Amino acid sequence: MSMMMNKIGLMFGLLLCFGVARAQDETTEKENKEAEKALQTSTNMTWEANNELTANDFVNSEAKYRKAISKSKQNVAAPYNLGNAYYNRESYGEAFGRYKQASEAADEKPEKHKAFHNMGNVFMKNKEYEKAVEAYKQALRSNPDDDETRYNLALAKKMLEKQQDEQKNDQNKDNEDKQDQKDQEQDQNKDQNNEGGDNEKKDEGKQNEDENKDKGDQGDNGEDKPKENQEGDGDKKKEQEKKPNEGDQPNDQKQQPRPNQLSEQQIKNLLEAMENEEKKVQEKMEARKVRGKKIRNEKDW
């Protein structure tokens, strides 16, 4: 009895597994049929979009390409052809996105080769030569015998080398410009320091010159001389001539000479003394004018 029950359970289990597997197969078959149907619909839309694009109706063709792409992710032709349409209109960013989409959907090597080849062309247009080299290499992995791809790869390498040389030269030029600017700033700072030192020397020299001039003026004007030396020589002669016999007579007997009693030599000495005094006064006034005049300090740029 126990053995019979085990056999029945085993048979039931086998039937159950068979039923599940059959159900999965039916689901997979159904999904495959739906995917094939969607792909066929997408392919038909792609064919219509191709015709409208040939008729230069870009707006309607773009819309149908988009619908075809949304219907089936397995459709490689729709994103690839839409990428070509964008590329011809110089919308390289849009084109690259569609080529990339086509490369991800492609299962066959010829389809991958075409997608990567055109991605390399987009990079060449954008002067992204390093990325173009990698795209062409990827295309050649799917089709090593394509001469056009090999030619584009060689061109991309050459343009990349030229670009790198130009960037190196630009970098060297920038470094030279920075060094020149640094040297110029150092020269300007040096000139400013020298100018400051020259101005200090000029100010010090001017101060010494003014001090020497003041001392000279004081010596000429007699302002700082002792009191006994402030009298002019003419005054002394005048007083002595006025008192020719002063040393022989008592003070109460001295007489003041009258003008008409002066000799010719005394009159001459008196006139010379007056002229000398007047000349000194004039020189003193001129010296004060010169000393009081301000001097402009002109900068030599």
Where are the chain's structural domains?
39-161, 232-240+261-289
What's the predicted TM-score (pTM) here?
0.54
- How far is residue 62 from each of residues 13, 53, 260, measured CA to CA in Å? 55, 8, 136
Q: How far apart are CA 252 and CA 256, in angstroms?
A: 11
Question: Mean pLDDT for the chain?
Answer: 77
The pLDDT tens digits for 90-119 are 999 999 999 999 999 999 999 999 999 999
Contact 194, 239 (CB under 8 A): no
251 token code pair: 């003070």
The pLDDT tens digits for 230-262 are 444 555 545 555 444 444 444 444 444 444 455
Looking at the predicted structure, is the pLDDT value of residue 221 above 60? no
CATH code for the structural domain at 39-161: 1.25.40.10
The pLDDT tens digits for 173-217 are 778 878 878 878 887 888 777 766 666 666 666 666 666 655 555
Residues 57, 58, 59: CA angle, nearest 5 degrees: 95
